[in-house]
Amino acid sequence: MRREREKYQAVINLPFGSVGITMHEDQLAGVEYLDGFHESFVRETPGLNLVLQSIKDYLVDAKRPFNLDLQLDGTPFQHRVWQALQTIPAGETLTYGALAEHIGSGARAVGNACRANPCPLVVPCHRVVAVNGLGGFAGERSGKKLEIKHWLLRHEEGL
């Protein structure tokens, strides 16, 4: 728990598990899926209350878009992918190949950029799927993170 309190400005529990939230100045810099459930905490941090409220709003109504200032650390290509992810409406999915075609790239490169996404949930990489199934999520092709992807997609289907 000490490491989490040093690394994150907040740890909150969501229906599928805990997430650690990292802020940079008053901008969201990271959302990390943690294993299992952890003790929640929120440090006094500029901009954090807006992030927490936006996540709560999404959990109540998946149609509500995240309108947050982001501080995403990545390459120019990753930023192109992350920007494109934010245009996929809640309740809809695109294949890695379709997203790659849209931005003029390859499916594997899109998958790698999705894996590097520092703010999953807010930058909805869970809306990108394989041609023949869910594909991976946060660098995993099975296990807890893929269960989270499935939960998020089911949540959005209930629109």
- Amino acid identity of residue 36, one-letter, is G
Q: Which CATH class is domain 76-157?
A: mainly alpha
The neighbour count for residue 120, using CB atoms within 10 Å, is 23
- pLDDT at position 5 is 72
- The rounded distance, in Å, linking the Cα atoms of 40 and 37 is 9
- pLDDT at position 159 is 55
- Amino acid identity of residue 45, one-letter, is T
Tell me: pLDDT of 79 over 70: yes
pLDDT (average), residues 1-26: 90
Q: Do 43 and 49 form a contact (C-beta atoms < 8 A)? A: no
Q: What is the pLDDT of residues 39-74, one digit of tens each?
A: 999 999 999 999 999 999 999 999 998 999 999 999
- pLDDT at position 142 is 82
Eight-state DSSP code of residue 89: P
Q: Which residues pair with 13 in a beta bridge?
A: 18
Residue 131: CB partners within 8 Å, gap ≥ 6? 95, 96, 97
- pLDDT at position 36 is 84
What band does 136 get if pLDDT is binned at 50, 70 and 90?
confident
State residue 157 phi and psi, 5-degree precision: -65, -25
Residue of 94 and 136 predicted with greater confidence: 94
Residue percentage of the chain with pLDDT more than 90: 83
42 alpha-carbon distance from chain centroid = 19
Lowest mean pLDDT among 40-44, 102-106, 140-144: 140-144
Q: Do 85 and 65 form a contact (C-beta atoms < 8 A)? A: no
pLDDT (average), residues 106-133: 95
- The rounded distance, in Å, linking the Cα atoms of 70 and 86 is 12
Across all residues in the chain, what is the average pLDDT?
93
For CATH 1.10.10.10, the residue range(s) in the chain are 76-157
The catalytic site residues sit at 125
Tell whether the torsion through CA atoms of 51, 34, 32 and 131 is positive or negative.
negative
